[in-house]
A and B are shown apart, each in its own frame.
Chain A
Amino acid sequence: MKNRLWTFCRIAVGVIVLITFTPLVTPPGIKEPFFMGMPYTLWLGITITLLIVALTWLGTMVHPGNKD
């Protein structure tokens, strides 16, 4: 189970990295929709970084090195 979760973490971060470089996260010249007053790429960028930190935390729980 832990190994599967570790694989999930790696795939999830990989997918996040890929979509960050697509117009889904970094659309040229697009500032809307705003969220809490922040332009689109900024609030989504902050959300993504928080998500990666959460995946890092999960990763430390399920990483195979835990056995060492």
Chain B
Amino acid sequence: MGIVYVSVLFFLANRAKSVDKTSKQYLLGGSNLGALLGFFTIAATLFSTFSLLGMPDFFRVHGIGAWIFLMFSHCVMTFGLIWLGYQLHKKAKNHSWRGMAGFMGQNYGHRFAGIVAFFGVFVFLIPYISIQIRGVAIFLSASFPGVIPMWAWATILVIIMLIYSEVGGLKAIMHSDVLQGVLLLVAIWIIGYNCLNHFGGVRAMFEEVEIVNEALLSVPGPKGLFDFQFLLGSMIAISLMPYTQPQISTRLVILKNVKSLYKMAISLGIFGIIIILPTAFMGMYGAVLYPEFSTSEFLNKTYIGDQTNFVASVVMIGIIAAAISTSDSQLFALGGELRSILKGEDRKMVKYARVGIFFFALIALLFALMSSDELALLARTSFAGTALLAPMILTGIFYDHAHRIRTLPLLTLVALLIFIASLVGWLPHQVTGIRMDLALITLLSAISLLMILFDKIKNSRTQDFS
């Protein structure tokens, strides 16, 4: 089954292969994305190993607050797509869009803004890509003990991703996303249904969970994770992903028209609910049957050990598909971002971007071998990190005179560095009781608004005098 899956991926890559290696064709897939393909590619990019492996574990360990953490935030994001997403789509279509970093460079009138945007996505997307690779590699390693080591699984995944995305470009990735999205949906529902079936229904499931660990049935959960600040910070970070994570921004911009954007947004909201609901069943199943297991032990038992061989194979392919569809999009997006800040002959710059993708993949692979197993929390850190770019990006998109407030990119860089310092322990995780990510984004947002306000006042005075 695995061989069939990989063959189909390469077939799609070969079919989508374009001899025209320009930015528009290779990095932006021809910039003419319809609603259906747009929906599948964004859904497959958004719902990843983090959803398939991280969310069941989040429900198992921290309880039903995981729904508010992800699904509520996801739905706020989909509403935002028809509001802010529409504005980005409209504005970027009128510019020669190559990537968010380049777009920021254009709007702020200097390359530094683009470099800050690239730095932010590079630093916080690499860990996100790494956890996809690591998640699947530890899962495969546990499922086939003694066959090959974890690092070898990780390397094989990266090689598969690199081959088909380098051959076919963004179009190949988007076409394969349709396959990956369907596989993800099938896999997640087979397991979700089996887990629910084990209890005989929703009511019986929660009755058993109540006996095992009552705290899982309310917020903030047994470990107190889902408190007000965590949920609010998560909602802000997740709802801003279409503007702060280039793999989604680019797909938004290259949608054919506004109607496609609307249809994609509604489908994405519904798809999110359908995909996350069964992960709650899996989490509750794990909470009752395997409360003391480690993440990998629980996932291995639930996805493989407790299933028939056929189901286990389908699920394994689904998990690999989930990881590959997100990671390849992110790696490719990093390449696109690199291209967008480079100046020179287009085909030559695309070549540099392709070399860049190879190096980004190598860094992600190394990081994957060293990172921790807390997939959902690491993903959340990535969302929070890229969210710090939001005030600068949104100002760049919506304020026509962003080039007059040049200090905002510098302040954004400082905020990113402070957040990184807090993550590695050089600075505290909280400031006066407020989570560092929440404090920084609040401060940056307030500064951005004040800068726009002062700029408007200053400009109107200048106009009055003249």
Residues of chain A touching chain B, judged by Cβ–Cβ distance below 8 Å, are: 9-10, 13, 17, 20-21, 25-31, 34, 36-42, 45-46, 48-50, 52-53, 55-57, 59-60, 63, 65-66, 68
- Contact yes or no, A42 B64, CB < 8 A: yes
Question: From DSSP, what is the main secondary structure of chain A's interface residues?
Answer: helix
Given the complex, which residues of A lie within 8 Å of B64, measured CB to CB? 39, 41-42, 45
Q: Are A46 and B67 in contact (CB under 8 A)?
A: yes
Is residue B95 within 8 Å, beta carbon to beta carbon, of the partner chain?
no
Residues of chain B contacted by A39 (CB below 8 angstroms): 64, 206, 217-218
Q: Is B335 in the interface zone, CB < 8 Å from A?
A: no
Given contacts A37-B203, A42-B64, whether A13 and B79 have CB atoms under 8 Å apart is yes
Can you list 27 residue pairs at the A/B interface with Cβ under 8 Å? A10-B83, A26-B226, A26-B228, A28-B218, A31-B210, A31-B214, A31-B217, A31-B218, A34-B206, A37-B201, A37-B206, A40-B218, A42-B217, A45-B64, A45-B68, A45-B72, A46-B71, A46-B273, A48-B72, A49-B74, A49-B272, A50-B273, A52-B269, A56-B269, A59-B79, A60-B262, A68-B258
Residues of B within 8 A of A26 (CB): 65, 68, 219, 226, 228, 231
Which chain B residues numbered 190 to 211 have a C-beta less than 8 Å away from chain A? Answer: 201-207, 210
- How far, in Å, is B276 (CB) from chain A's closest CB? 9
Contact between A56 and B90, CB atoms less than 8 A apart: no
Most chain A Cβ neighbours within 10 Å, of B203, B263, B266: B266
Q: Say how far A11's CB is from chain B's closest CB, in angstroms.
A: 12
Decide if A21 touches B228 in the complex (CB within 8 Å). yes
Give bound CA distance, A38 to B207, whole Å.
9
Complex contact A68–B206 (CB within 8 A): no
User: In the complex, what's the smallest C-beta–C-beta distance from A24 to chain B, in angstroms?
Assistant: 12
Q: Is A56 a contact of B219 with CB atoms below 8 Å?
A: no
In the complex, whether B220 has a CB less than 8 A from a CB of chain A is yes
Most buried by B among A9, A37, A42, A49: A49
Q: Is the CB of A37 within 8 A of B202?
A: yes
> B249 contacts the other chain (Cβ, under 8 Å)?
no
User: What is the CA–CA distance of A59 and B220 in the complex, to the nearest angstrom?
Assistant: 32
CA separation between A50 and B74, bound complex, in Å?
Answer: 11
Task: Name the residue of chain B whose CB is nearest to the CB of A50.
Answer: B273
- A46 CB to closest chain B CB (Å) equals 7
Taking residues whose C-beta sits less than 8 angstroms from the other chain, chain B's interface range is 35 or more
Whether A28 and B72, one on each chain, are in contact in the complex, defined by CB atoms closer than 8 angstroms, is: no
Q: Name the contact of A17 in the complex, choosing from B210, B217, B235, B273 (C-beta under 8 A).
A: B235
Q: Are A53 and B266 in contact (CB under 8 A)?
A: yes
Which residues of chain B are near A34, meaning CB under 8 Å?
206
Say yes or no: B79 contacts A56, CB within 8 Å. yes
B413 nearest CB across to chain A (Å): 29
Instruction: State how many angstroms separate the Cβ of A12 from the closest Cβ of chain B.
Output: 10
Q: Min CB distance, A35 to chain B, in Å?
A: 10
Among B82, B203, B235, which residue has its beta carbon within 8 angstroms of that of A59?
Answer: B82
Please tell me if the beta carbons of B218 and A56 are within 8 angstroms of each other in the complex. Answer: no
Question: By the criterion CB–CB under 8 Å, are B67 and A63 in contact?
Answer: no
Q: Tell me which residues across on chain A come within 8 A of B75, comparing CB atoms.
A: 48-49, 52-53, 56
The proximity string for B residues 245-286 relative to A, scoring 1 for CB distances below 8 Å and 0 otherwise, is 000000000000110001101100110110001001000000
Instruction: Please name all residues of chain A whose beta carbon is closer than 8 Å to the beta carbon of B204 when the two chains form the complex.
Output: 37
Residue of B nearest to A36 (CB): B202
Which residues, 68 to 106 on B, are CB-close (under 8 Å) to A?
A: 68, 71-72, 74-76, 78-79, 81-83, 86, 90
Q: Smallest CB–CB gap between A58 and chain B, Å?
A: 10
Give the contacting residue for A55; candidates B71, B79, B81, B226; CB below 8 A. B79
B72–A20 touching, CB < 8 Å:
yes
Q: Are A52 and B202 in contact (CB under 8 A)?
A: no
User: Which residues from chain A contact B72 at a C-beta distance below 8 Å?
Assistant: 20, 45, 48-49, 52
Asked if B218 contacts A37 (CB within 8 A), the reply is: no
Q: Which 6 A-B pairs have the closest CB atoms?
A: A37-B203, A60-B262, A31-B217, A39-B217, A52-B75, A53-B269
- State A28–B230 Cα separation when bound (angstroms): 13
**Shortest Cβ distance from residue B66 to the other chain A in the assembled complex, whole angstroms:** 9
Establish whether residues A28 and B219, one from each chain, have CB atoms under 8 Å apart when the complex forms: yes
Residues of chain A with a CB closer than 8 A to B231's CB:
20-21, 26
